[in-house]
Amino acid sequence: MYLLFLIRTVIGLTGKDYVILAADTRLSLSYSIYTRFCPKISKLTDKCIIGSSGMQSDIKTLHSLLQKKIQLFVLEHSHYPDIHVIARLLCVILYSRRFFPYYAFNILAGVDENNKGVLYNYDSVGSYCEATHSCVGSGSQLILPILDNRVEQKNQLIKNTNFNLGDDINFVKDAITSATERDIYTGDKTLIYVIDKMGINVNTLDLKQD
């Protein structure tokens, strides 16, 4: 039953002054595709977004609740919270439901007040940590080893860390395209969100539809 809730793929990758969050749009169960366009990433502020893998109803409920909490914060304080405040808020929301948790495994992405790319990785009950890269969902077992090798480079004699935004976007495209070759729950399209000091940009990548 656990695997039934992980039928989607979300990838996060940070750069020096930007962060990338990408997710496919397929919603399926077993061999049935319910829709080919079901976005898994929601905008929270102009510099913060959330992507989730898990049960669709719980994801929509969690994203909507988080957006409403942020709007209440804005009404009370007259400014939007930064990503570190939102990260703590999400932790509290998830932990408050720990006895009947949301089946949602989340990646929070954005840039902070210093325009540094920030990525937070969560489990379903609110435990979280800041990371340079992350992947959740059905394709994570295929993509995480590639991410580890690309970012940490622990088994490479000659390390290359001179990657720019274009390199990272192409890498994310290659990673999720590779996952579609083996994972039947990942496919159709990928929405690639790039957040930097200028705001949020969205690119689309077509994937296999079989």
Once rounded to an integer, what is the mean pLDDT over residues 102-112? Answer: 95
Mean pLDDT score across all residues of the chain: 91
| Helical pair 56-77 and 83-96, crossing angle rounded to 10 deg | 130
Tell me the percentage of the chain whose pLDDT exceeds 90. Answer: 74
Q: Which tokens is 104 given?
A: 């949602």
Contact 145, 179 (CB under 8 A): no
What does the radius of gyration of the chain's CA atoms come to, in whole angstroms? 16
Q: Which tokens is 145 given?
A: 């080893």
207 backbone φψ class: left, alpha, beta (φ>0; ψ -120 to 50): beta
> How would DSSP label each residue in 111-174?
E-TT--EEEEEE-TTS-EEE-SEEEEETTHHHHHHHHHHHHT-TT-SS------HHHHHHHHHH
pLDDT of res. 4: 52
pTM: 0.92
Q: Which tokens is 25 given?
A: 């749009």
| Separation of alpha carbons 119 and 133, rounded Å | 7
The pLDDT tens digits for 68-96 are 999 999 999 999 999 999 999 999 999 99
Contact 40, 52 (CB under 8 A): yes
Question: Is the pLDDT assigned to residue 5 strictly greater than 70?
Answer: no
Q: Which tokens is 146 given?
A: 């590639």
Phi, psi at 156, each rounded to 5°: -115, 130
Once rounded to an integer, what is the mean pLDDT over residues 195-207? Answer: 93
The label of the residue with tokens 């319910």 reads: 34
Chosen CATH of 2-31+43-206 out of 3.60.20.10, 3.40.710.10, 3.30.1050.10, 3.30.70.3460 = 3.60.20.10
For the chain, what are the domain ranges? Answer: 2-31+43-206
Q: For the chain, how long is the longest CA-to-CA vector?
A: 53
